[in-house]
Amino acid sequence: MLGNPRSYEEACRTFRWRVPDRYNLAFDVCDRQTMAGADGHRTALIVEAKDGGVERYTFHVMRLLSNRLANVLAALGVTPGDRIALALPAGIEAAIGVLAVTRMGAVVVPIPPSLGAEPLSWRLSDSGARIAILDPAVMPALALVRSSLPELRHVLVPHGGGAGMSEMWAALEVASDAFVPLVTPADLPAFLFYPADACGTPAAVIHAHRAMAGGLPAVEMALGLFPQFGDVVWTSAEWMGAEALFRAVLPAWHHGVPVVARPGPFDPVLALELMARHGVRAAYVPSEHLGRLTEAALLRPHAMPRALASGPEPLDDALHERVFKAFGLHANEAWGVLESGAVAANLAGMMELRPPSPGRAAPGLTVEAVDERGRVVKAGERGTLAVSPNAPGSFLGYWNEGAGPARRVAGWLQTGRMGSRDLDNYLWPEPLTEPESVVRVDGLRIALAECEACLAAHPQVAAAGVAVMAGELRAFVVAQGGAGGSALADELRAWVALRRSTCEIPRRIEWVESLPLAVDGSILREELSHLRLRLDAPSRDDRMGRGLK
């Protein structure tokens, strides 16, 4: 969309939106790359397995495979508007799942496979998903809640299967690879995005087919006027989320650029090695991963990418300096909330970087600070950051009339994020604030009370308190009958992972005689660090999480 403007002002002056009224996302990012003279045999996806094996898929192959999956889903009764849940790691299954569902006019419900039974159950029941395509690792969590999901009629599993499930690849083998994409309006719902964390019962954000295209100006700026010749894209973001899909994977395919994928949790050392092996030149690394990637890069030789983008949280000056020292380039930023998509960005060399400002409004958009009535406030004054009317990347609303921080007032999409705009049109979002009982670990929100309730539900636990200490989640557990030890600690970690999320697994588990309680019976978390530990407390290695999965 942007091309190669010489300045930010030129980019804004020459920019025009080119999102047609009839627009199908799958056709744009896949089918179009195989038609009208395009070479469909260009590599679209490079998947590196955990054992080191590498598979390459062309746009032509992805089109055929997603057509087959669309036919499988149609045979199961899927019609436009039906919700299809996907809980898959980065790879070919996730790719063709997104393409197949959107080409049918159905709605993708992405769910991170790291979530446990409770948040998984909420997302499946609230969305009314009729079919789920799940990674085998998710099946134990689904088994705990399957009986409470009457609307979930079919489950497809890429490898394996069982009662009430079908093997996805076996079904694809006998399906036709011919499927005509539905001609969809650009504003037809295509995604239901829930937050990536396991907190509570949040409302889903509805995004249309046009949402990815609406964020392209900010994404292309942050990725150094993407695309450039020879670009290969990688992201450390979870593929079952809007960040990865709308800021890396789908924009890359829109431009016919290959994407590198490797399943598994983020590991900075493995990430650097992956980038070097596959010649990654443009990377999107979320704010919570960038610091770890930078520290790893400072300690070992590594390849230098052409462009490095981050977001959505603004980066401070110290991190900017470390990134430049490690990679020889600045980390550009793409800012926006889930409801708005990426609406602001910066680009070193084209504009001055002013950390912790994430930059200026992307070409084609206006972002202002407004008051509660939607009136623009003066430069430098505090207000709610809001996006101009009719921005293509803005959400359609909250699913099931749920409530959320964003709202539309006087034509503006108010993001719910407080901040200001200065005289040079730089945005200054205020840091996120959370309720006292909600903390952030590795960028994900954790409700301490929910984690405590999960631990307390274990039959061998009498009570549990959880707090964050030195950036790690630590649990203080009163065992039933005085039993404890490393075996039970490992069992509790697996218990939390199965029911809540891997991000809520306590890094350390301490055995205590009792918990400090307030008059109303609530846990005094600030006093947990002063508790006397039991003599049979786990060893130091156990407390540090040795053997943690």
Residue 383 placed within a domain: no
Query: Which spans in 134-198 are helix H?
Result: 139-145, 168-173
Taking phi first (over 0 means left), then psi (-120 to 50 degrees means alpha), and beta for anything else, what does residue 485 get? left
Quick one: pLDDT at residue 161? Answer: 67
Interaxial angle between packed helices 317-327 and 287-298, expressed in degrees from 0 to 180 and rounded to the nearest 10: 40
* Residues 209/228, Cβ–Cβ less than 8 Å: no
Residue 257's beta-bridge partner residues? none
| pLDDT (mean) for 82-105 | 98
Determine the Cα–Cα distance for residues 203 and 168; give it in Å rounded to an integer.
29
Q: How would you class 231 by CB atoms within 10 Å of its CB: exposed for 0-12, middle for 13-18, buried for 19 or more?
A: buried
* Per-residue b or e along 428-442, where b marks 16 or more CB atoms closer than 10 Å to that residue's CB: bbeeeeeeeebbbbe
- Could you identify the residue written with the tokens 């205020």? 430
For the cut 70, the answer to whether the pLDDT of residue 234 exceeds it is: yes
| Alpha-carbon span 492 to 355, nearest angstrom | 41
Question: Residue 321 has what pLDDT?
Answer: 97
Global pTM?
Answer: 0.93
The model's pLDDT over 254-313, given as tens digits with 9 standing for 90+, comes to 999 999 999 999 999 999 999 999 999 999 999 999 999 999 999 999 999 999 999 999
Give the pLDDT score at 547: 39
Distance between start and end Cα atoms, the chain: 43
- Torsion of Cα atoms, 123 then 124 then 129 then 134, to 10°: 110
Beta-carbon-side half-sphere exposure of residue 170 (alpha carbons within 13 Å)? 8
Query: What is the chain's mean pLDDT, rounded?
Result: 93
Residue 222 lies inside a defined structural domain of this protein: no
- DSSP-derived letter for residue 531 is P
Residue 403 resides in a domain: no
Number of domains observed in the structure of the chain? 2
Q: Is the pLDDT of residue 24 over 50?
A: yes
The span from the CA of 139 to the CA of 16, in Å, is 46
Span 472-508, pLDDT tens digits: 899 999 998 877 788 999 999 999 999 999 999 999 9
Q: What pLDDT is attached to residue 470? A: 81
Please report the pLDDT score of residue 413 as a whole number. Answer: 97
The reported pLDDT for the residue numbered 288 is 92
Phi, psi of 24 (to 5 degrees): -110, 125
CA distances from 42 to 46, 90, 220 (A): 11, 20, 21
Q: What is the CATH number of the domain that holds 202?
A: 3.40.50.12780
Separation CA 440–CA 447 (nearest Å): 9
Q: What is the pLDDT of residues 445-465, one digit of tens each?
A: 999 999 999 999 999 999 999
Q: How does pLDDT run across 333-389, given as a tens digit for each residue?
A: 999 999 999 999 999 999 999 999 999 999 999 999 999 999 999 999 999 999 998
Tell me the pLDDT tens digit for each residue of 109-168.
999 999 999 999 999 999 999 999 999 999 999 999 999 999 999 999 998 766 678 999
What is the percentage of the chain residues whose pLDDT exceeds 70? 96
How many angstroms separate the Cα of 203 from the Cα of each of 157, 441, 483? 26, 22, 40
Question: Coil, strand, or helix at residue 136?
Answer: helix
Question: Would you say residue 103 lies in a domain?
Answer: yes
Judge whether residue 545 has pLDDT over 70.
no
Q: CA quadruple 376, 381, 386, 387: dihedral positive or negative?
A: positive
In degrees and rounded to multiples of 5, residue 11 shows phi and psi of -60, -45
271 φ, ψ to 5°?
-65, -45
Which comes out higher in pLDDT, residue 430 or 39? 430
Are 417 and 429 in contact, with CB atoms under 8 Å apart? yes
Q: What is the pLDDT of residue 522?
A: 87
Determine, yes or no, domain membership for 164: yes
State which of 206, 226, 250 marks the end of a domain: 206
Write down which residue in 206, 222, 247 finishes a domain.
206
Cβ proximity of 305 and 297 under 8 Å: no
Q: What is the distance between the alpha carbons of residues 414 and 408, in angstroms, rounded to a whole number?
A: 6
Q: Is the bond preceding residue 263 a cis peptide, omega within 30 degrees?
A: no
Q: Is 360 part of any domain? A: no
With a cut of 70, say whether residue 10 has pLDDT above it. yes
> Does residue 539 have a pLDDT over 80?
no
| CATH number of the domain that residue 514 is part of | 3.30.300.30
pLDDT at 525: 86
**What's the gap between Cα 326 and its chain centre?**
25
**Separation CA 355–CA 332 (nearest Å):** 11
Q: Answer whether residue 459 is part of any domain.
A: yes
pLDDT at 535 over 70: no
Range of the domain at 450: 438-543
Residue type for 123, please? R
| Model pLDDT, residue 395 | 97
The pLDDT tens digits for 176-225 are: 999 999 999 999 999 999 999 999 999 999 999 999 999 999 999 999 99
Average pLDDT (525-542) is 63
- Which domain-ending residue is among 162, 186, 206? 206
Which two structure tokens, joined as six digits, stand for 137? 């690792």
